[in-house]
């Protein structure tokens, strides 16, 4: 059982040795990679140690139970504990997305519905900001295009996780990618009629290691222009906004939030790296067998994943059949029960995946 255990223990020992090497901390990108992997393996190592201890105790209790019935009762308890640890390790060892422990970049774009869709996009951003607060995460706006009523035509935010560990942004927020549909009476509606509009969400891992995605300067077209919309002194008076086009893929990224052209270029490259990583992941999923394609994880904005019905105070996730009548609380950041349900569906699918040959 758990054929991966020896190699995981060996890797963990190597990581511990590397982390004790002072030279490691001179390379921040490598240090972060090793630290993330160490944190990822730590709960597995602890669970394996518990499993081995309980298995040994069970062997001893079963042997002694032949002479003393008291040990038979202990053996029964140890079997139940071993079963729990088996389930825990199965979940920990299931195939997983290597980016789950990374920070996330969340892009929200208004869709059908005009101004109402833009206002809904701002509601979604607020929902993610409040959800981030409950986890001790920080949200940084990288780029935004606002409307007259305070909505967003588009907004891009970086969500940075807590240094204390635990669940990290991409591992939880990746389930948000897709079309979010809203049904409500818009503030612009004078007759009180319910309208349906939508906003698209794209969630990608925030890659802090530039080497993880190779981008050639020859593949980029970089344009600069004057920022538009709201801004402080100097923002709208210089050519500080940056548009980067990745020619091989056709991906276009713009950034105009910062006053400095250099800062905007750095932010745009950050978004571009995350987008290209997401495209690579999509391509890998398409190349995989049908059994390995996820029905829960998605970065495709064309898939309608969720409906927010204001008159009924109802939220429904169409991928897993989740429904709840606490939309007001969800929009205020109480997103965890829905995320838990999506994670459970994702885990069930990963447990069914065939092992790599």
Question: Is 89 among the domain residues?
Answer: yes
Domain co-membership, 62 together with 131 = no
The pLDDT assigned to 182 comes to 94
Which residues of the chain, if any, have pLDDT below 50? 231-235, 289-301, 356-357
Domain housing 188: 103-350
Domain co-membership, 72 together with 153 = no
What is the spatial distance between Cα 54 and Cα 5, in angstroms, rounded to a whole number?
A: 16
Question: Is 98 among the domain residues?
Answer: no
- CATH number for 28: 1.20.58
* Contacts of 63 by beta carbon, 8 Å cutoff, 6+ apart: none
Question: Is 356 among the domain residues?
Answer: no
Domain co-membership, 108 together with 54 = no
Domain co-membership, 227 together with 332 = yes
What is the spatial distance between Cα 19 and Cα 11, in angstroms, rounded to a whole number?
A: 12
The pLDDT assigned to 226 comes to 79
Domain co-membership, 275 together with 186 = yes
Q: Do residues 204 and 220 make contact, with C-beta atoms less than 8 angstroms apart?
A: no
Question: Is 357 among the domain residues?
Answer: no
Phi-psi label, residue 186: left if phi above 0, alpha if psi -120 to 50, beta otherwise: beta
The pLDDT assigned to 348 comes to 86
Split into its structural domains, the chain has a count of: 2
Q: Do residues 317 and 342 make contact, with C-beta atoms less than 8 angstroms apart?
A: yes
3 φ, ψ (degrees, to nearest 5): -60, -25
Domain co-membership, 163 together with 290 = yes
Domain co-membership, 55 together with 176 = no
Domain co-membership, 60 together with 206 = no
What is the spatial distance between Cα 253 and Cα 239, in angstroms, rounded to a whole number?
A: 16
- CATH number for 299: 3.30.70.1660
Domain co-membership, 50 together with 150 = no
The pLDDT assigned to 110 comes to 93
Give the dihedral of Cα atoms 249, 250, 256, 262; nearest 10 deg.
50
Question: Is 355 among the domain residues?
Answer: no
Domain co-membership, 284 together with 316 = yes
């Amino acid at each position: 059982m758990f054929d991966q255990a020896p190699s995981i223990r060996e890797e963990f020992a190597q990581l511990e040795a590397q982390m004790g090497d002072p030279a490691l901390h001179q390379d921040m990108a490598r240090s972060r990679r090793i630290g993330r992997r160490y944190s990822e393996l730590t709960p597995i190592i602890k669970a394996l140690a518990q499993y081995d201890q309980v298995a040994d105790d069970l062997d001893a209790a079963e042997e002694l139970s032949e002479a003393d019935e008291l040990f038979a009762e202990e053996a029964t308890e140890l079997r139940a504990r071993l079963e729990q640890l088996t389930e825990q390790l199965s979940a920990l060892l299931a195939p997983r997305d290597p980016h789950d422990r990374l920070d996330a970049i969340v892009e929200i774009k208004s869709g059908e519905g005009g101004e109402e869709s833009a206002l809904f996009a701002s509601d979604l951003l607020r929902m993610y900001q409040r959800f981030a607060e409950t986890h001790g995460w920080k949200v940084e706006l990288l780029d935004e295009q606002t409307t007259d009523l305070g909505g967003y035509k588009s907004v891009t935010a970086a969500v940075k996780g807590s240094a204390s560990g635990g669940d990290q942004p991409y591992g939880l927020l990746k389930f948000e990618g897709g079309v979010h549909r809203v049904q409500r009476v818009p503030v612009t509606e004078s007759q009180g009629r319910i309208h349906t509009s939508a906003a698209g969400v794209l969630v990608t891992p925030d890659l802090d290691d530039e080497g993880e995605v190779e981008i050639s300067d020859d593949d980029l077209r970089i344009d600069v222009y004057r920022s538009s919309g709201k801004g402080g002194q100097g923002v709208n008076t210089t050519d500080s906004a940056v548009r980067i086009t990745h020619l091989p893929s056709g991906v276009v990224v713009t950034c105009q939030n910062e006053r400095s052209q250099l800062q905007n270029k750095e932010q745009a490259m950050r978004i571009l790296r995350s987008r290209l990583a997401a495209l690579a992941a999509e391509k890998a999923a398409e190349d995989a067998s049908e059994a390995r394609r996820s029905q829960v994880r998605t970065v495709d904005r064309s898939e309608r994943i969720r409906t927010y019905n204001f008159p009924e105070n109802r939220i429904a996730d169409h991928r897993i059949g989740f429904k709840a009548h606490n939309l007001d609380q969800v929009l205020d950041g109480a997103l965890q029960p829905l995320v838990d349900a999506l994670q459970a569906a994702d885990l069930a699918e990963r447990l069914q995946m065939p092992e790599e040959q």
